[in-house]
Amino acid sequence: MSWHWFTFFGDSMLLLPCAGLIVVVLLLKTDARQACWQWLMLFCLAGGVVCASKLAFMGWGVGSRTYDFTGFSGHSALSASIWPVMLWILFSRARPAPRAAAVAGGYLLALAIGVSRLVIQAHSLSEVVSGLALGYLISTSFLLMQFSRHTHIRFLTNGQIVAMLILPLLLVVHGKKAPTQNLLEQIALSVAPVTKVYTRADLHRPSPTLRPEQDARPAPAS
């Protein structure tokens, strides 16, 4: 199996529609809409943090050379946010043990997607770990809220489950990646005082040093 193909399971082209499906199910299949608003709030928080970290680096060079950090891994954060919740919904008809196993599988799937980002060298270790931590915080917080409130998802028919899977399956087969990186670069160029976005190469470029005849201190007044 190609890691480049597997990493698509963390692409926003696939996961954003999945996040939308979660919203639809929570609206139509739960007794209270509070679960839907909780999901929207938490998911938007995760997306906002990821985008802000990337824009801060692209536009202003805010990163860490020590940890090779240029922003949270979006694939890792989205995967860890969505897959545990998606599988929790899809296995709503199952008994507690199989449902818990499905949720655990969602956590492991997100971890594998994070590993794929390292294998194809799309992100550094710090970016993947921080992205997974952010996503796990979102999905775990949401699921704990639902467990504490005993949120019940009304019976999903086989047809509804298949309908929920059709769009993600079609997107996987199509395999087209979302142009999120280019979009963020355009936003950074629009809002930051730069004509070229910062790159990882800029992060690791040695800082210029003064020549021997140069002096950073102002000359004393005569």
If one compares 164 and 58, the residue with the highest pLDDT of the two is 58
Single-letter amino acid code for the residue at 149:
R
Q: What is the mean pLDDT of residues 67-71?
A: 97
Q: Which helix (H) or strand (E) holds 149?
A: helix 125-149
Q: What is the pLDDT of residue 160?
A: 83
The first and second tokens of residue 172, run together, are 């996987």
| Ramachandran angles phi, psi of 37, nearest 5° | -65, -35
Instruction: Please list, in sequence order, all residues whose beta carbon lies within 8 angstroms of the beta carbon of residue 54, skipping any fewer than 6 positions away.
Output: 70, 71, 72, 74, 184
- Name the one residue in this structure whose structure tokens are 């199509």: 174
Q: Convert the pLDDT of each residue in 14-48 to its tens digit.
A: 999 999 999 999 999 988 789 999 999 999 999 99
pTM metric for this prediction: 0.88
Q: Which long-range contacts (CB under 8 A, 24 or more apart) does 19-27 make?
A: 19/43, 19/78, 19/81, 19/82, 21/86, 21/164, 21/167, 21/168, 22/82, 22/85, 22/86, 22/89, 25/89, 25/153, 25/156, 25/164
Average pLDDT over the chain, rounded to an integer: 89
